[in-house]
Amino acid sequence: RTRPGSPCPDAPVDNGWLLARVGGDFTLLAVDAEVPATFSAHGIALKILSYTAAENDALCARYLGSAGRAVYLIRPDQHVCARFDTFDPRAVAAALARALAKD
């Protein structure tokens, strides 16, 4: 599994590549987990990417490991900021605050 602080591994998604979709934005990546269609915290609207295991075996192997689901907060430099089992708006906002040095 990908750990906080580590670079995001790339994976094929939607006829392209995950890191191209992440680009240079703070991104919420959900794999087999429910996330809202939009989410903002600290004045930043996060890009939302959501995939299921049925859609993408390579993505799941790189981001889930043996876990059943995961939600990642990815920094603009394409490193993992935080990993969660489920979406929790307060936890995501707190992780974003740490990344922005606002805590």
DSSP string, 31-95: ESS---S--EETTEEPEEEEE-TTT-HHHHHHHTTT-S-EEEEE-TTSBEEEEESS--HHHHHHH
Whether residue 83 has pLDDT greater than 80: yes
Lookup: tokens for 30? 């959900």
Taking residues 11-35, report their average pLDDT. 91
Question: What is the structure's pLDDT at 76?
Answer: 95
Q: What mean pLDDT do residues 70-93 have?
A: 95
Q: What DSSP designation does 98 have?
A: H
Domain boundaries along the sequence of the chain: 12-99
Average pLDDT over residues 18-35: 92
Give the CATH number of domain 12-99: 3.40.30.10
Residues in the chain: 103
